[in-house]
Amino acid sequence: MQEQLLNWYHKNARDLPWRRTRDPYKIWVSEVILQQTQVVTGTAYYERFVERFPTVQDLAQAPLEEVLQAWEGCGYYARARNLHAAAKQIAEDPFPETFEGWLALKGVGPYTAAAVSSIAFGYPKAVVDGNVRRVLARWYAIKEPTELWLQTTADGLLVVQEAGNWNQAVMELGATICTPKAPKCPECPVKTFCKAYQSGKPTDYPAPKVRAEVKEVQAVALIVGDLHTLYIEKRPEKGLLGGLSGPPLEQVQSGETAEVALNRLLGRLAAKEARFLGTIEHTMTHRHFVVQVHQAQADLPRTASTVAMSRLDRKLLGVLQEKQGSLFG
């Protein structure tokens, strides 16, 4: 089974830019981006990022704001902050070559540590991600695999001499053939080893995970300035859109109205003459934001609107753009 899957991978692997290199830095960047981003979208972000920061030294020496700006649109900005912090840790030293060495870096979890150490250095550690979970659950017809079972099984199947290729082969099978809703079982190179296939109901494995309920978050935002320059504040690490910079936001607390939250925001900024511009909606994983956007006057420092912002923040500015016309008009 291992031989057949590896042969299939060598012949059918997608030609992705991070597969054309053994540079641990570029492999690492790709793995971080792909944690929460699909391959098609992630490829563009990856190419843009490594063009901006070709080496780990370039990344380590860059200001965090520049790194966040290069990351803009990719979402989950904690990934960019951790990537930057870890780059500073290793910029003066050789890259770690072991699973344990990677795991010691800021923001690097077991999956990324296993992926980078095995692909870049051949370290014998099996990866477990969503694709691997689905493939293993189907091979063994397990409906609710535990994390311990998954890691133990993956480690037991690992082809030590080709650790990186084997890890990628299992993930590639899950991404292109053993897909969640419509697996292409007739095309699978190892279907004769698959108990879920033999059962005739491969999509029964694994059982769907219970999704967390999407929570609605009501908030008000205040734009002080215009489309060119405006007041930007750094939000606390813990809280609404933690750690990101953008127009001031105030969450509408349970039992209060948006007007109360707006007055609290105006008071905090010593702002006045608030004018309602519109409402935007934006969904981020388990939260759905409904934000009332206002423009107001205040004696506050202004920053160019080209700084790194989240998609939600860009939507806030989009409301102002609709009112005032194109930024370049």
Tokens of 153: 């099984």
Which class for 308: exposed (0-12), middle (13-18), buried (19 or more C-beta within 10 A)? buried
Q: CA 260 to CA 37: how far, in whole Å? A: 37
State how far the Cα of 66 lies from the Cα of 68, in Å rounded to an integer. 5
Q: How far is CA 240 from CA 124, 219, 287, in A?
A: 40, 9, 11
How far is Cα 25 from Cα 44, in angstroms, rounded to an integer? Answer: 17
Q: Which of 33, 82, 89 is nearest to 56 (CA)?
A: 89
Half-sphere exposure of 233 (CA within 13 A, CB side): 18
Q: Is residue 31 annotated as a catalytic residue, yes or no?
A: yes
Measured in degrees and rounded to the nearest 5, phi and psi for residue 124 equal: -80, 80
Active-site residue identified among 31, 72, 162, 172: 31
- The neighbouring-strand residues paired with 219 are 251, 291
| Cβ-based neighbour number of residue 314 at 10 Å | 16
- Residues recognised as catalytic: 31
